[in-house]
Amino acid sequence: MTESELPVETEQDRAIAQISDKLRVPAQEVGEIYRKEFERLAVQARIPTFVATLAMRNTRSILRGVDKSLR
C-alpha cells in the first residue's frame, strides 16, 4: 500500500480512539455513542467548531454513567 492509499484518520476517529483507550471501552461502542452525540449536537449548533469537543465530553459522560455489568 502506498502512502496515498493509506486511510486518512479523521478528527472523529482520533476522538473515538482516545476515549476508547482512556476508558477501556471497545472503539465500536464508543463510536456509536460519539456519532449519535455528534449528529445530535450538529443539528442545533450555532458554533460548529465546538461540536466535536462537546460530543467527546458527552460521550465520556455517557460511558462513565453506564453500568459496567451491562457491557
Question: Mean pLDDT score of the chain, rounded to an integer?
Answer: 85
For the chain, the domains span: 11-64
pLDDT tens track for 3-37: 555 565 788 999 999 999 999 999 999 999 999 99
Mean pLDDT for 48-59 is 93
Would you state the cell numbers that stand for residue 24, as one nine-digit string?
Answer: 477501556
Rounded to whole angstroms, how far apart are CA atoms 67 and 44?
Answer: 29
Q: Which among 4, 21, 23 is positioned nearest to 65, based on CA atoms?
A: 23
Report the predicted TM-score, pTM, of the whole model to 2 decimal places.
0.76
64-to-8, 9, 14, 20, 24 alpha-carbon distances in Å: 29, 25, 19, 12, 11
Other C-beta atoms within 10 Å of 55: how many?
24
Q: Which among 56, 18, 19, 63 is positioned nearest to 37, based on CA atoms?
A: 56
